[in-house]
């Protein structure tokens, strides 16, 4: 049974007690990421994620790592465009240790100047690693193409020049403005009672100060979608292609039709793009479609990596497949198979406490409520052939923005730009 509670200072707690498991996963979700930055501090959300592992008043960076290693637990974090999450997975008996340590990281990190300078080097190396990973790089270029100067077009890792300029004061100011109680959700899933969860979290988190910042009052600007195309010349073996069209925001009433369309088009081994481009013709190893749902907008996209000589064939196939789906949609048989596939994949993925915790935290942060499995299954089952046809014509049947990285000229791609 899932539950939703508030700590005395306004932090939201969502949880699910699962007595059949021996693990507990806890995530601290903060409503901030590259979307909440400006160009001059782009990258600070991700940099701060790193810095919370670099030592507190009680623990050095090595102590923090050892604290989880010594109990056989896991701890990590990630930053996205719209949220940051610090999470741990431990045996149920070690839940209090996980809460104590995560609270210490969140509230008592020292941000020592020498650690800041060292971590700048680490993140700069991470940025350079992405530059050497063309299938990741092409996605960043695609976002920049379609969202331009809007923060959704910013890279999550940030810019080297920004990283070099960050000071201890910059980091502390960002924490004060964004890491506020009303902007934090704590999600817990596993073999720990609701009573125990609330006792521990109130003790370590609820006693902290109420909101001092105005993060919950930030008004997000809905981005415009731009059909810009670009080619980044790079000495690679493959050409990495990524296409995008406007998608749907989180919580949209047509989102499940979009999910089923995406599943049939390119998000599974039996999907049309995978079968036609890889299995039937051997033109790519990696080819897939995706849909990214943000708070107030979305992006539907397609990726393919192929040899330079195969670029025209791959682009023609992608275009033809999308046009056919936009005109015909899915048959009832294809839709029914897709429903079972999506439901099965979702439910199998939720067999662990980490995925249960993530689902709870992300839904609360982005939608402000729990979305039960029964509700999700009902909405999937309710999608009709007509619903998919409508969303296919609306999204897949239009022009795509394009980003390409690799040894290919604009003249080759000009028919699709």
Q: Give the whole-angstrom CA distance, residue 383 versus residue 339.
A: 9
Boundary (domain end) residue, out of 186, 214, 242: 214
Shared domain check, 81 and 23:
yes
Tell whether 387 is covered by a domain.
Answer: yes
Q: Is residue 221 part of a domain?
A: no
pLDDT at 209: 76
Of the listed ranges 209-223, 292-306, 377-391, the least confidently predicted one is 209-223
* Mean pLDDT estimate for the chain: 95
What is the pLDDT averaged over residues 267-274?
94
Does residue 342 lie in a domain region?
yes
Residues 168, 22 share a domain: yes
Identify whether residues 162 and 263 lie together within a single domain. Answer: no
The reply to whether 287 and 196 lie within a common domain is no
In a domain, 224, yes or no: no
Question: How much is the pLDDT for 217?
Answer: 57
**End residue of a domain, out of 214, 238, 272:** 214
Strands 229-233, 401-406: pairing is parallel
Indicate whether 375 pLDDT > 70. yes
Q: Mean pLDDT over residues 85-111, rounded?
A: 97
Q: In what order do the strands lie in the sheet with 287-293?
A: 229-233, 401-406, 239-246, 298-306, 287-293
On whether residue 220 sits in a domain, the answer given is no
| Average confidence (pLDDT) over 288-313 | 97
The total number of structural domains in the chain stands at: 2
pLDDT of residue 397: 85
- CB-CB neighbours of 70 under 10 Å: 10
Q: In the listed set 214, 238, 267, which residue is the last one of a domain according to the structure?
A: 214
The pLDDT value recorded for residue 143 is 97
The proportion of the chain whose per-residue pLDDT surpasses 90, expressed as a percent, equals 95
CA quadruple 27, 154, 395, 283: dihedral sign: negative
Residue 223 within a domain = no
Helix and strand numbers (H, E) in the chain are 16, 11
Residue 124 sits in a domain whose CATH number is 3.30.830.10
Res 329: pLDDT:
95
Helices (H), 3-159: 44-51, 61-69, 95-108, 113-131, 134-147
Give the mean pLDDT of 318-336: 96
Give the model confidence (pLDDT) of 169-213 as tens digits: 999 999 999 999 999 999 999 999 999 999 999 999 999 876 555
345-362 pLDDT, tens digit per residue, is 999 999 999 999 999 999
Domain limits at 134? 2-214
Distance of CA 225 to the CA centre of its chain: 19
Residue 219's pLDDT is: 76
The pLDDT, as a whole number, for residue 415 is 93
Asked if pLDDT for residue 215 goes beyond 50, the answer is no
Task: Say whether both 266 and 207 belong to one domain.
Answer: no
Q: Over 90: is that where the pLDDT of 214 sits?
A: no
Statement: residue 249 has pLDDT above 90 = yes
Q: In this structure, are 110 and 202 located in the same domain?
A: yes
Whether 219 is covered by a domain: the verdict is no
* Judgement on whether residues 312 and 197 belong to the same structural domain of the protein: no
Cα 294 to Cα 290: distance, rounded to the nearest angstrom: 13
Residues recognised as catalytic: 49
Q: What is the pLDDT of residues 391-405, one digit of tens each?
A: 999 999 888 999 999
Same domain, 197 and 339: no
Q: Which residues touch 394 (CB under 8 Å, ≥6 apart)?
A: none
Tell me: do 272 and 200 sit in the same domain.
no
Does the residue 222 lie in any domain?
Answer: no
For residue 211, the model assigns a pLDDT of 58
* Whether residue 179 sits in one domain with residue 245: no
Using a CB cutoff of 8 Å and minimum separation of 24, what contacts does 361-365 make?
A: 361/14, 361/27, 361/29, 361/85, 361/185, 361/186, 361/187, 362/29, 362/83, 363/14, 364/4, 364/12, 364/14, 364/29, 364/185, 364/187, 365/29, 365/31, 365/83, 365/185
Confidence of residue 216 (pLDDT cuts 50, 70, 90): very low
Question: Domain check: are 49 and 97 in the same one?
Answer: yes
Within this chain, do residues 297 and 206 fall inside the same structural domain, yes or no? no
């Amino acid at each position: 049974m899932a539950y939703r509670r508030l700590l005395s200072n306004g932090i939201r707690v969502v949880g699910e007690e699962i007595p059949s498991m021996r693990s507990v996963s806890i995530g601290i979700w903060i409503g901030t990421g590259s979307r909440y930055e400006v160009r001059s501090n782009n990258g600070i959300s991700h940099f701060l994620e790193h810095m919370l592992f670099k030592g507190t008043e009680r623990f050095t960076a090595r102590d923090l790592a050892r604290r989880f290693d010594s109990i056989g637990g896991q701890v990590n974090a990630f930053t996205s465009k719209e949220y940051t999450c610090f999470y741990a997975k431990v045996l149920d008996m070690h839940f209090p240790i996980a809460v104590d340590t995560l609270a210490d990281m969140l509230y008592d990190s020292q941000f020592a100047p020498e650690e800041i300078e060292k971590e700048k080097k680490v993140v700069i190396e991470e940025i350079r690693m992405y530059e050497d990973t063309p299938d990741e790089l092409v996605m960043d270029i695609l976002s920049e193409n379609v969202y331009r100067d809007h923060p959704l077009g910013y890279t999550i890792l940030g810019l080297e020049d920004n990283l070099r300029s960050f000071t201890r004061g910059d980091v502390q100011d960002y924490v004060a403005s964004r890491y506020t109680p009303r902007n934090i959700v704590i999600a817990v899933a596993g073999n720990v009672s609701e009573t125990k969860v609330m006792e521990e979290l109130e003790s370590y988190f609820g006693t902290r100060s109420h909101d001092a910042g105005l993060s919950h009052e930030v008004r997000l600007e809905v981005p415009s979608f731009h059909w810009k195309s670009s080619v980044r010349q790079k000495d690679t073996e493959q050409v990495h292609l990524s296409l995008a069209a406007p998608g749907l925001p989180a919580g949209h009433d047509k989102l499940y039709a979009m999910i089923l369309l995406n599943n049939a088009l390119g998000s599974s081994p039996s999907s049309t793009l995978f079968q036609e481009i890889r299995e039937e013709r051997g033109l790519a190893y990696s080819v897939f479609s995706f849909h990214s749902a943000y708070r107030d907008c979305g992006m539907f996209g397609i990726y393919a990596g192929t040899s330079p000589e195969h670029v025209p064939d791959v682009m023609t196939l992608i275009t033809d497949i999308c046009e056919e789906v936009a005109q015909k949609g899915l048959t009832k048989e294809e839709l029914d198979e897709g429903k079972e596939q999506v439901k099965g994949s979702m439910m199998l993925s939720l067999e662990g406490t980490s995925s249960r915790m993530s689902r709870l935290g992300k839904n609360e942060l982005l939608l402000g409520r729990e979305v039960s499995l029964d509700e999700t299954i009902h909405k999937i089952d309710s999608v009709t052939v007509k619903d998919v046809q409508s969303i296919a014509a609306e999204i897949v049947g239009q022009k795509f923005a394009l980003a390409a990285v690799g040894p290919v000229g604009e003249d080759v791609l000009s028919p699709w730009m």
